Amino acid sequence: MFSHFLQCLFLLSAPGGSEWILIILAVLILFGGKKIPEFMRGLGRGMREFNDAKNNVKKEFEDGMNEPRETPTPTVTTTTTPTATTNTTTTNP
């Protein structure tokens, strides 16, 4: 079982020298010489934006972890009960 896993893993290894040459030739044929620099610029911008976003999230997370916790202050609430007033009128006959 384990040996079968290793055989599959070795089949998915990184391409060697001749494979890279074939890959580069295929890219040159498909995209041409003028499109490749534009593609690489776009790829570089995308990687830069991704790294900037990743660093911003990491910084915000670390800043949040370093903030002191605020303990909620107990609030005193006073309740007033209305006083009952009785209106009694007496009439003398």
The pLDDT assigned to 2 comes to: 64
The pLDDT assigned to 48 comes to: 97
Separation of alpha carbons 7 and 71, rounded Å: 58
Residue 36 has a CB neighbour count (10 Å cut-off) of 14
The pLDDT assigned to 7 comes to: 66
The DSSP string of the chain is -HHHHHHHHHHTPPP-HHHHHHHHHHHHHHHHHHHHHHHHHHHHHHHHHHHHHHHHHHHHHHHHHHSPPPPPPPPP----PPPP---------
The pLDDT assigned to 68 comes to: 79
pLDDT of the chain along its 93 residues, tens only? Answer: 666 666 666 666 777 888 889 988 888 888 888 888 888 899 999 999 999 999 999 999 888 888 877 777 777 777 766 665 655 566 655
31 CB contacts (<8 Å, ≥6 apart)?
39
The pLDDT assigned to 20 comes to: 86
Residues 31/39, Cβ–Cβ less than 8 Å: yes
Domains of the chain: which residue ranges? Answer: 33-65
The pLDDT assigned to 54 comes to: 96
Separation of alpha carbons 75 and 61, rounded Å: 30
